[in-house]
Homo-oligomer: A and B are copies of this chain.
Amino acid sequence: MKDTRERVVVTEVGMRDGLQSIARTMPTEFKRRWIDAAYAAGVRHMEVASFVPAKLLPQMADAEEVIAHALTYDDLIVTALVPNLKGAQRALDCGVHRIVAPISVSAAHSVANVRKTPAEMIDVFAAMRDLIDRMPTAPNASTRHTRRVELIAGLSTVFGCTLQGAVPDADIAAIARAAVDAGADVIALGDTTGEATPRRVAEVIERVRGVAGSKLRSLHLHDTRGLGLANTLIALQHGIREFDASLAGLGGCPHAPGATGNVNTEDLVFMLDSMGYDTGIDLTRLIASRAVLADALPGEPLYGYLARAGVPMQFAAHARRLESTESRVPQ
């Protein structure tokens, strides 16, 4: 029977956002094992590194090696976070498929984070666009690329900023429009500070869609206030079909003031599965892949409800029922 469920893309960002948010550095070999385990579980989108100076972020010093390993999987979409033009060149040299450039909609956060105003970051973003456009697009021996690299504007602090508080909708829309004008392939919205609420998620999505249209594709949510999955639900209802998440909620303790973990990949996949979406990810294997983190980072807190409570007894049967109900084109 053909699977006719609607597809939702879950991008594992733990190798980047998770690992850069904890104090110690995961050895490269474990990063490779994590990528292997995630791939084995069916994850086909991973944000595996960021290109920032190693002296600022030693956790990401092995970006090239990690990306090279990820690229050994033909059908794995490999993303890197890149805050500046030099990083973009490095990422392109490595052969990544997607570049995410963080563009904060909060001036206060932008300056604190990348020492640039949002307008200056838009200029950097436009320069990244030029860089990508100058790349050869035809597959040949000198490049890994058989398709155009996607440039993603990762709009951060859209649901609130711990420095300046709420960010006016007009600012969010203006920067989203500027990112589109500067050549963004994708607009992603990031709840950098874990302040998103269901109502604001709906409002911001609609506002940004007004200026970005179908380029608004992805959400990067944190679970700081327990609303990660509720916010995801609202985003699904408002047409979003791509979500970032982090295995075991790595990268921040949801139970410590100020710390902000990404939405937990396992819990997210469970919710999506239960709603009849197809993530391509095997939940049992995904949960098993947490073992890599336990091995690599002994003592590091691993979060997640599902890994502890287990998949409900009824769930497998229920999922099958959903599937058969939804299969409009029996084969």
Contact = CB atoms under 8 A, between A and B. Distances in A.
Interface of A: 160-162, 165-166, 193-195, 197-200, 223-227, 229-230, 232-234, 254-260, 264, 267, 270-271, 274-276, 304-306, 308-310, 312-315, 317-318, 322
A259 B310 CA distance: 11
A194 B309 contact: yes
Contact of A227 (B161, B193, B229, B322): B229
Contacts of A232: 230
Contacts of A308: 254-257
B274 A198 contact: yes
Copies in the complex: 2
A162 B230 CA distance: 25
A45 B161 CA distance: 35
A264 B254 CA distance: 14
Contacts of A227: 229, 267, 271, 305
A310 B257 contact: yes
A305 B233 contact: no
Given A198-B275, A230-B233, A225 B313 contact: no
A26 to B, nearest CB: 23
